[in-house]
């Protein structure tokens, strides 16, 4: 069945450091892939998405590329800010259901 695996956290970085959060998936076909972000005390909100192989999703300085050959959708940002501190979820969409990874907590220190 479909599944998503993402790196365990927490990830602690200094401000302006480079960020990578790894995400790999198992799926039949070519599902759409998503990154969601959850700020403290809030629900999840969409950060970016990609709908087919080699697509790059981007938003707020974050990027992720849909890699079919490695079944990966790693999240990157060149220079993180304190305000990026949150929990990040990788997800894919099946027919009706969405499959989420367990989440990676990011803490950015000033």
Of 23, 88, 103, 106, the one binding another protein (CB under 8 A) is 103
Q: Does 45 bind another protein (CB under 8 A)?
A: yes
- The answer to whether the beta carbons of residues 73 and 50 sit under 8 Å apart is yes
Q: Does 49 bind another protein (CB under 8 A)?
A: yes
Closest CA to 49 of 38, 80, 39, 37: 37
Of 58, 65, 72, 100, the one binding another protein (CB under 8 A) is 100
Q: Which is nearer to another protein, 17 or 98 (CB)?
A: 98
Give the Cα separation of 22 and 31 in Å (integer).
18
Q: Where are the alpha helices (DSSP H) in 12-79?
A: none
Instruction: List interacting residues with another protein (CB under 8 A).
Output: 31-32, 34, 36, 41-46, 49, 51, 89, 93, 96-98, 100-103
């Amino acid at each position: 069945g479909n599944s998503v695996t993402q790196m365990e956290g927490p990830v602690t970085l200094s401000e302006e450091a480079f960020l990578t959060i790894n995400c790999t998936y198992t799926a039949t076909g070519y599902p759409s892939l998503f990154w969601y972000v959850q700020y403290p005390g809030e629900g999840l909100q969409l950060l970016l998405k990609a709908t087919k192989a080699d697509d790059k999703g981007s938003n707020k300085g974050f990027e992720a590329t849909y890699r079919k050959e490695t079944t990966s959708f790693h999240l990157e940002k060149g220079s993180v800010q304190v305000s990026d501190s949150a929990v990040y979820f990788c997800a894919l969409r099946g027919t009706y259901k969405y499959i989420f990874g367990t989440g990676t907590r990011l803490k950015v220190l000033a």
